[in-house]
Amino acid sequence: MNTLALLLSWSEADLGEWLERFRAWGPLPGILLTFMKSFVPPLPTMVIIGLNAAVYGLWQGFLYSWLGIVGGCITTFILVQKASSLRYVQRWMRKPKVNRALVWARRNAFSYVFVLSLFPAGPFVAVNVAAAAAGMRLRSFLLALLPGKAIMVFYVSYVGHDVRRFMERPWELALILLLVAVCWWLSRRVERYFTAGR
């Protein structure tokens, strides 16, 4: 608990110093910090991904952040899937409010996971838990998660790699927001394609 409190109290400078100090360990620190995001929701996603890009470089920072975030999401998803067969979890899932939410999640699972994966401030843990509890297959979860997280991690890494550039040229941030909107539109098309035959 003390370690968790310490981690949550870290500033951006503290995280950057930690990454620099353990850089000799290769990609492990960068992957570990983003992996922990799935288990410690208050960790600042944008700061960690941006720092990975600043410390390791754009492409390596992107890769390490993506591997860590995806690894954490998959681990959470599998743990919840395993736990969903337990009797008290089944009882919780039968509650009217929870059941309604799960019915909605089953109908919209692909776009739900993909669209929320595009946003760095999204409720990562809630998305993973809802997808697993709703009975989403791991293959479908991965098809939605992998590209969604790749897009999100890339644009945050791109900004974090050269923050000064975006302060001088804010219109480039508008282009990134446009990219997110296009991805959302594409996700709706993909979802319609996959659900048309059902």
* pLDDT tens-place string over residues 114-145: 877 887 766 677 778 888 888 888 998 999 89
**pTM for this predicted structure:** 0.72
The pLDDT value recorded for residue 15 is 61
Kindly state whether residue 45 falls inside one of the protein's structural domains: yes
In a domain, 2, yes or no: no
| Spans of the chain, pLDDT less than 50 | 1-9, 194-195, 197-198
Considering Cα of 101, then 80, then 62, then 50, what sign does the dihedral take?
A: positive
pLDDT, position 187? 58
Task: Mark residue 86 as left, alpha or beta (left: phi above 0; alpha: psi -120 to 50; beta: remaining).
Answer: beta
Residue numbers of the domain that contains 77: 27-195
Q: Give domain status of residue 119, yes or no.
A: yes
Q: Please report the pLDDT score of residue 173 as a whole number.
A: 67
Please tell me whether residue 18 adopts helix, strand or coil conformation.
helix
Q: Comparing C-alpha atoms, which of 3, 11, 66 is closest to residue 40?
A: 3
Residue 182 lies inside a defined structural domain of this protein: yes
Domain assignment of residue 62, yes or no: yes
CA distance 36 to 68: 8
Enter the tokens of residue 72: 């954490």
21 in any annotated domain: no
Residue 123 included in any domain = yes
Tally the domains of the chain.
Answer: 1
**pLDDT at 7 (0 to 100):** 45
